[in-house]
């Protein structure tokens, strides 16, 4: 009951006392403040997160979610839905990528109904409990309560049935090629599903095993819409139904696990449950989440802020997912999503670097350097197995988004902690050079337009779509390679080459607009040009969004614009411009990101998509940090809540959540492949960060409240600190930051050039 009460308190407090600016003490169990339902009030047309409730362990190989949509629908669970069709094991990173290796389990009573539309049941959120480690819902049509609690690769189900001689459980292995086999003597069902959305080898299968604690009195399988008595079925769409008689309140338990390797491996994965009964496993899962969430303790915020923070932190701990397993000798092995072989070593999947290089991976480098070392080993394996580094893996190479941002992922990890870790950075550096100088097998792998980029210094608009976005991101990626090349003591000629290429962003700057402007192969800017037009050289945005994508050399961008005053004026125009958009010929009309910007009423600041999310912090590079402080708080207040519509666009594998987590702390990684975080303003009165190395970062802002959003002064380890940035390496030694907050801006702090964050032009 405690979990249900606390969860309800968060939402009641948000509705009732948000306006009173009520403060609460940091909860002893932060997992009680997490709502996996945040972001689920979304659909194809408008995104308030585009999330589903992931019932899972941190970075777990398998997630579970209630399924309200038909199989194959990317929006598997939506908050407005009223009926559940099953409980799905899912590996979906986003609705746009859709799922793979999925199957579902559904209890039914009365007349045997096994097809999705027939077996579905009405439910209410009033009879639904949702936490990261436990899910429960009452299925009204069947008078059955279903409970789920997971491990990384397995889970326990508990069904509470009424008195009936017609109690069933349907196992749906879905279409596109599946298999099931009922083994009554062992109370077991095994099977596999091949259903996927691309990015898998031909031999791809997800093998599953389900073991019940009650004898089967009904044993049936189905082939599509046809139910039969065979114990085994292989078909395009196979499934199984087992049944039994139950007493009032009888609890039937099931243990389930899966493997991408084999049935035997699925049986090994089932051992993660051990001897734990349902309640014991549930408590273990709760302890795991509390341990991870407690690494950052926040104190002094509204109930909505506390709930939003921990809900965002939960989302920051889900992806990339572990795609490896432990064999009979407890060695790490993985099924390769690139070549279909079973190989030793780590593998992580289901993330798009275009999104997550910005804040999610910097968060991992700050809080989980050991785990990120394993992720780097996984990337090295991916290169060995496919010949490329993935830019979007789900689970293998996918052809979506732009950039070569694996360069940032690899370089940042080594620069921040890899020097003391033991992994093959030379192989990864080789992979970076290969990706930076070759077009890949897919347009989103390697660098599309690479020959022109290397020859001209930009990707021509009349040669390839999204040319300006590619140019700007390639330039930053070259900077990341430049930084890594220096750290690895590579030849000076190599270092100089990537430093030079990292300045290629200048080739697209148009002083007529003081913005980035796509260029044709003949060196002329493309015409006609409308800075408000989406997709015309840009990716899911326009020039007002992408012109700030000079993460590594903001001073260079300031100089191009004509100085700090003009630069700040351009930043101001992002918020003062109307939230209008023009559509281009490439996208075919209005996309949801446009609507999300329009309805947010923050001008051209489209926080619901990634390209502009760092832009607020750029005021720090031009001597007006108080404007960053204002807009960071404004964005947190207006764009994030602990409610089902609590995001303002796609959450995207932890990136939009990590933005909130960092911004709540009071700093943000504008340039991931550097040692610096740029200062914003803290949200809470106190934050305690427990680092993996045993050191502690304490952030005090005792005078913080809704009105006091400006920094009056800062002390770092007891000494007055005037800079607009913090050093990662210094923070890792442990630190105490004291922020004196005020309701009025301090226009004399952080205004000198020596206080500005890093820019390549200042080297």
Q: Could you write out the DSSP letters of every residue in 132-162?
A: SS-EEEEETTTTEEEEEEE-SSEEEEEEEE-
Question: Beta strands 232-235 and 296-299: pairing type?
Answer: unpaired
**587 versus 725: which is more confidently predicted?**
725
CA distance 747 to 483: 34
CATH number belonging to domain 314-762: 3.30.2080.10
**pLDDT for res 25:** 54
Can you tell me the distance from the alpha carbon of 686 to that of 681, in angstroms, rounded to the nearest whole number? 12
The pLDDT value given to residue 11: 42
Predicted local distance difference test score (pLDDT) of residue 421: 78
Is the domain spanning 39-294 CATH 1.20.120.720? The answer is no
Model confidence band, residue 583 (pLDDT cutoffs 50, 70, 90): confident
Q: Tell me the pLDDT band of 27, cut-offs 50, 70 and 90.
A: low
The residue whose two tokens read 């047309």 is: 45
* Percent of the chain whose predicted confidence (pLDDT) is above 90: 94
The answer to whether 682 and 699 are in contact (CB under 8 A) is yes
Q: Is the peptide bond before 395 cis (omega within 30 degrees of 0)?
A: yes
Long-range CB pairs of 612-617, under 8 A, 24+ apart, other chains included: 612/541, 612/544, 612/545, 612/546, 612/548, 612/574, 613/358, 613/359, 613/655, 613/656, 613/659, 614/358, 614/548, 614/551, 614/668, 614/670, 615/548, 615/571, 615/574, 616/680, 617/668, 617/670, 617/678, 617/680
Q: CA-CA distance, 318 to 59, in Å (whole number)?
A: 4
Contact 635, 663 (CB under 8 A): yes
Query: Is the confidence at residue 10, as pLDDT, over 70?
Result: no
pLDDT mean across residues, the chain: 95
CB–CB of 687/699 below 8 Å?
yes
What is the three-class DSSP state of 14?
A: helix
Question: What digits encode the pLDDT tens for the residues 313-361?
Answer: 999 999 999 999 999 999 999 999 999 999 999 999 999 999 999 999 9
Task: List pLDDT tens digits, range 189-233.
Answer: 999 999 999 999 999 999 999 999 999 999 999 999 999 999 999
Give the residue among 694, 683, 659 at the shortest CA–CA distance from 741. Answer: 683
Q: What angle do CA 288, 54, 94 make, to 5 degrees?
A: 130
**Element containing residue 298 per DSSP (H, E):** strand 296-299
Q: Do 315 and 307 form a contact (C-beta atoms < 8 A)?
A: no
pLDDT of residue 668: 98
DSSP per-residue codes, 524-561:
PBPSS--TTBSSSSSSSS-HHHHTT--TT-HHHHHHHH
Does residue 525 register a pLDDT over 60? yes
- Domain boundaries, given as residue ranges, for the chain: 39-294, 314-762
Q: Which two tokens stand for residue 621?
A: 């590079």
pLDDT at position 696 over 60 = yes
Q: What is the pLDDT of residue 584?
A: 57
State in Å, rounded, how far the first CA of the chain is from the last one. Answer: 58
* 115 alpha-carbon distance from chain centroid: 33
pLDDT confidence of 585, banded at 50, 70, 90? low
Spatial separation of the C-alpha atoms in residues 173 and 334, rounded to whole Å: 22
Is the predicted pLDDT of residue 13 greater than 50, yes or no?
Answer: no
DSSP 8-state assignment for residue 519: B
Q: Give the confidence band of 8 by pLDDT, cuts at 50, 70, 90.
A: very low
For residue 552, what pLDDT band results from cuts at 50, 70 and 90? very high
Write the pLDDT tens digit of every residue in 462-507. Answer: 999 999 999 999 999 999 999 999 999 999 999 999 999 999 999 9
pLDDT at residue 14 in the model? 40
Determine the 3-state secondary structure of 576 from DSSP: helix
Residues 414-462: tens digit of each pLDDT: 999 877 778 999 999 999 999 999 999 999 999 999 999 999 999 999 9
Following DSSP, what letter does each residue of 404-473 receive, concatenated?
Answer: -THHHHHHHHHHHTGGGS-S-HHHHHHHHHHHHTSB-SSTTTBTTTHHHHHHHSS--TTTSTTHHHHHHH
SS3 category, 105: strand
Region label for 697, one of left (φ > 0), alpha (ψ between -120 and 50) or beta (otherwise): beta
Rounded-to-integer distance, Cα 233 and Cα 220, Å? 9
* pLDDT tens per residue, range 725-758: 999 999 999 999 999 999 999 999 999 999 999 9
Give the pTM: 0.96
What is the C-alpha to C-alpha distance for residues 384 and 273, in angstroms, rounded to an integer?
Answer: 33
Tens of pLDDT, residues 372-396: 999 999 999 999 999 999 999 999 9
- In tens, the pLDDT along 294-318 reads 999 999 999 999 999 999 999 999 9
291: tokens are 């341990």
Rounded distance between C-alpha atoms, residue 443 and residue 440, angstroms? 6
Whether pLDDT at 19 is above 60: no
Which residues, 6 or more positions from 329, have their beta carbon under 8 angstroms from its beta carbon? none
């Amino acid at each position: 009951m405690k979990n249900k009460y606390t969860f309800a308190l968060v939402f009641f407090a948000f509705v009732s006392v948000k306006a009173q600016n009520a403060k609460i003490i940091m909860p002893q169990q932060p997992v009680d403040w997490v709502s996996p339902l945040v972001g689920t009030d979304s659909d194809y047309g408008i995104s308030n997160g585009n999330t589903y409730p992931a019932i899972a362990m941190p970075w777990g190989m398998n997630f579970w979610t209630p399924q309200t949509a038909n199989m194959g629908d990317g929006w598997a669970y939506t908050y407005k839905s009223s009926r559940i069709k099953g409980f799905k094991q899912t590996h979906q990173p986003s609705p746009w990528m859709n799922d793979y290796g999925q199957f579902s389990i559904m209890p039914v009573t009365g007349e045997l109904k096994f097809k999705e539309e027939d077996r579905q049941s009405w439910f209410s959120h009033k009879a639904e409990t949702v936490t990261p480690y436990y899910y429960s819902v009452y299925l009204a049509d069947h008078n059955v309560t279903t409970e789920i609690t997971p491990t990384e690769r397995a889970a326990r189900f508990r069904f509470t049935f009424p008195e009936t001689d017609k109690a069933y459980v349907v196992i749906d292995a879905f279409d596109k090629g599946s298999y099931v086999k009922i083994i009554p003597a062992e109370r077991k069902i095994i099977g596999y599903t091949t259903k996927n959305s691309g990015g898998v080898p031909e031999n791809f299968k997800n093998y599953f095993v389900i073991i019940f604690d009650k004898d089967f009195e009904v044993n049936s399988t189905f082939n599509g819409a046809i139910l039969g008595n065979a114990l085994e079925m292989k078909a395009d769409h196979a499934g199984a139904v087992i049944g039994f008689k139950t007493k009032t309140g009888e609890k039937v338990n099931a243990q389930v696990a899966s493997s991408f390797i084999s049935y035997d491996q699925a049986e090994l994965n089932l051992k993660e449950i051990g001897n734990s009964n349902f309640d014991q496993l549930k408590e273990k899962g709760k302890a795991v989440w509390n341990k991870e969430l407690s690494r950052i303790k926040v104190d002094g915020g509204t109930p909505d802020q506390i709930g939003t923070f921990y809900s965002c932190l939960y989302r920051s701990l889900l992806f990339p997912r572990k795609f490896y397993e432990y064999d009979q000798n407890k060695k790490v092995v993985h099924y390769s999503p690139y070549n279909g072989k079973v190989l030793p070593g780590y593998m992580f999947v289901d993330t798009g670097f275009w999104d997550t290089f910005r804040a999610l991976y910097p968060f991992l480098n700050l809080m989980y350097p050991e785990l990120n070392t394993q992720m780097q080993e996984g990337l090295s394996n991916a290169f060995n197995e496919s010949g490329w580094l993935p830019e979007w893996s789900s689970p293998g190479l996918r052809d979506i988004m732009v950039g070569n941002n694996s360069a940032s992922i690899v370089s940042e990890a080594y620069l921040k902690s890899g020097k003391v870790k033991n992994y093959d950075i030379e192989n990864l550096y080789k992979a970076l050079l290969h990706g930076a100088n070759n077009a890949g097998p897919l347009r989103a792998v390697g660098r599309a337009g690479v020959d022109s980029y290397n020859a001209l210094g930009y990707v021509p608009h009349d040669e390839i779509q999204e040319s300006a976005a590619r140019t700007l991101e390639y330039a930053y990626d070259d900077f990341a390679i430049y930084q890594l090349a220096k750290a690895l003591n590579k030849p000076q000629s190599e270092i100089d080459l990537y430093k030079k290429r990292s300045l290629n962003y200048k080739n697209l700057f148009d002083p007529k607009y003081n913005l980035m402007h796509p260029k044709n192969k003949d060196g002329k800017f493309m015409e006609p040009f409308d800075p408000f037009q989406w997709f015309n050289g840009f990716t899911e945005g326009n020039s007002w969004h992408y012109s700030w994508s000079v993460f590594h050399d903001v001073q260079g961008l300031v100089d191009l614009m004509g100085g700090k005053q003009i630069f700040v004026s351009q930043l101001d125009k992002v918020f003062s411009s109307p939230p209008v958009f023009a559509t281009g010929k490439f996208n075919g009309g209005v996309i949801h990101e446009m609507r999300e910007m329009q309805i947010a009423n923050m001008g051209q600041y489209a926080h619901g998509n990634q390209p502009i999310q760092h832009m607020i912090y750029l005021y720090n590079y031009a001597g007006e940090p108080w404007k960053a402080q204002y807009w960071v708080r404004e964005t947190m207040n207006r764009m994030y809540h602990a409610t089902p519509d609590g995001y303002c666009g796609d959450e995207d594998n932890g990136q939009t959540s990590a933005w909130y987590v960092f911004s709540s702390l009071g700093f943000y990684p504008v340039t991931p492949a550097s040692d610096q975080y740029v200062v914003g303003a803290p949200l809470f009165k106190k934050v305690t960060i427990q680092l993996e190395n045993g050191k502690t970062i304490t952030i005090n802002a005792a005078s913080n409240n809704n009105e006091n959003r400006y920094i009056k002064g800062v002390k770092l380890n007891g000494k007055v600190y005037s800079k607009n940035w913090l050093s990662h390496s210094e923070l890792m030694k442990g630190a105490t930051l004291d922020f004196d907050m005020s309701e009025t801006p301090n226009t004399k702090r952080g205004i000198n050039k020596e206080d500005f964050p890093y820019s390549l032009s200042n080297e």
